[in-house]
Amino acid sequence: MKAYSSKLPKDYPIAIKPMGEIAGYPVRPGMFDINGVTVLPRGVNFTIHTHYGNYCELLLFHRGEAEPYAVLPFPDEYKIGDVYSMIVFGLDIHEFEYAYRIDGPYQPEKGLLFKRENVILDPYARAIAGWRGWGDRKVGAYHARVVEDKFDWGDMPQSNREMCDLVIYELHVRGFTRHPSSGVEHRGTFAGLMEKIPYLKELGVNAVELMPIFEFDEMRDVREVDGQRLLDYWGYNPVGFFAPNTSYAATEEYNHEGRELKELIKALHDNGIEVILDVVFNHTAEGNENGPSFCFKGLDNKVYYMLTPDGNYYNFSGCGNTLNCNHPIVKLLILECLRYWTVSYRVDGFRFDLASILGRNEDGSPMNNPPLLRSLSYDPVLSNVKLIAEAWDAGGMYQVGSFPASRRWAEWNGRYRDSVRGFLKGENWEAWNAAWSIAGSGDIYGKEFSDDSKSYAGYNSCVNFLTCHDGFTLYDLYSYNVKHNEKNGWNNKDGSDDNRSWNCGAEGETDKPEVLKLRYRMIRNACAVLMCSRGTPMFFAGDEFGNTQYGNNNCYCQDNEVSWLDWGYLEKNRELFEFFRFMIDYRKKHPIIRRKLPDAVCGMGPIHAHSALADVLNVPRDARTFSIGFAGYDKEKGKDDLVYVSVNTHWEDVKITLPHLENMAAWHLSVNTYGDWEGRYCYEEGSEVRIDGEFVMRPRSVAVFTGRAF
């Protein structure tokens, strides 16, 4: 390293003056306690750390070039502990990309995979270079780019909605608007999604859950099946945790990566819609022993991944490797990442894919009080952020109802999905589980009915869902008895076989009126039950207008009409859309569905399960018909809030009775999924039908009654 002695301008801050020269660039030791890259007034700070590596050099590339134009080795005096840090002066962030080369022992049997020739991506990279159109092959190694963040969020406050007040709409950024029928200008992008905000407002959802938007390479496992190109469409193989996927941007954003995503998030917030990101911290795109080494493997393989005693990868993710989430270094990376997305992108929540992995020790064993989960639960920056766990993993751990830190975290309620699906199709042995689930799953979140037990984990603990990206759409749930994944190229062996679906009398597409009529009734049943259940409802984009994936329940590779939303169904099934819109609005108008209220004046108990007869406060294990009653006093409206949800899965009429109401109150029919003689399925307040004492439930139908004064 050459000593540096050139004269400095008089106003140059002495604290960061150059102290040497490397590869023609003035340099000095950097800011060791700030990970990644930091732009300074006259230089750029580069910081990276490796525990088992013993040599590091910074590579500078011209945009799009494979070979570096400058190589800057870190001198020994530019290292403290395991951290290398250097300030390089005279760099224009618009003119370079960067990466590292790290050397150290190569002993695969000990989990050490250092190769000096490997180009290593900065794990804290805010942008990954090489913007390209979706489906274009990446060329060369991964490089990072410095992001100039000038986005002004103004004085926009953080949302203070509780989880139970959300209606979550899960969607894939590309698939939501890629189909020509979407009618947007920028199809398949953040900008295209922004064009659909008026639609989201009309539907009534107040939170969107975006499937992975971290940088990933959709061409990672590209292949061809029957002439159709299949990609890594879903994006559950992250390349970088801090960088948004550049192929989701409608325009090039050199050095301003993420601007379009921020504009989308701000627009959603301005319209009262929260943003939840589906994040993948259980594995990376580096894969197993045969996978590439472009980041963590070459940086500190033994630190970042769970390894067997012989140096191979534990595969609790089902994707080749498993992040070592409770190692202090990895824990810090994840915490800093979530803080970054919360502060710089104003994200409202995170859904953690295969979250049980986040609770595994370095040897893969489950931990009682995982350090990572505890850190995220009590972090001050994340204190108001929603944390949602997919409380299972591919290694067999299933923690629904028992996920660590459950009083801070919510969970995807897999029991709700399975039991309610089964009961609605006629599996009467699921009656008890279904009744518990609709009533708030108090049996698994506190072992008691939610309103009667202080041990209940809370109304913000469970996310109720019947559909999501992983499985059938709601239309397909009642159109197929079995999955049809042949187009995925695995002889229909991929995807779950436990779907609890029913084709209503014909497999797949049909023109039989009686089959179609039943299918749409079953969809209305599912929607009505979901929106009248305690807990946070979530459904998959397109369910509200009967979108189909043609029986494919594992569309991870289908970047085509199989996965893209066909907006033509919106007009075809406008009546179904209006039903969804009504049910979402009904839920919002009745807080008693969402949480406990003070005791009702009319004397009705706060929450009860009933058989077909209202005075029987018990659901038989083999019931085909039951009801759930919610009651409380709404202080804001100054009156009781009374809702009675009745579900008949029998193929015959069933007469039910309704609870007696005191104080001049009566029940009114708000929803009848079977429909009346005019073809109406729901009734606005003031147009409901008053029901005195009893009601005949039609076959396979759901009815919702609202109690109010005469």
DSSP assignment, residue 444? Answer: T
DSSP string, 127-192: SBS----TTPPP-SS--B---------TTPPPP---GGG--EEEE-HHHHH-SGGG--SSTTSHHH
- Interhelix angle 328-344/296-304, rounded to 10 degrees, is 120
Instruction: Give phi and psi for 611, each to the nearest 5.
Output: -75, -165
Say if CB 319 and CB 237 are below 8 A apart. yes
Cα–Cα distance between 123 and 195 in angstroms, integer?
A: 33
Q: Which of 260, 390, 393, 544 is catalytic?
A: 390
Give yes or no: 353 in active site. yes
Q: Which amino acid is residue 124, in one-letter code? A: Y
CA distances (Å), 638 to each of 58, 533, 667, 670, in order? 67, 23, 18, 21
SS3 697: strand
Q: Which of 165, 232, 300, 353 is catalytic?
A: 353
Give yes or no: 363 in active site. no
Identify which of 259, 174, 184, 246 has the alpha carbon closest to the alpha carbon of residue 217.
Answer: 246
Cα–Cα distance between 209 and 193 in angstroms, integer?
A: 12
Say if CB 584 and CB 531 are below 8 A apart. yes
Identify which of 110, 98, 107 has the alpha carbon closest to the alpha carbon of residue 72.
Answer: 98
Tokens representing residue 399 in the block? 């923690």
Tokens representing residue 474 in the block? 């709601």
Tokens representing residue 111 in the block? 């989990």
User: Catalytic site residues?
Assistant: 353, 390
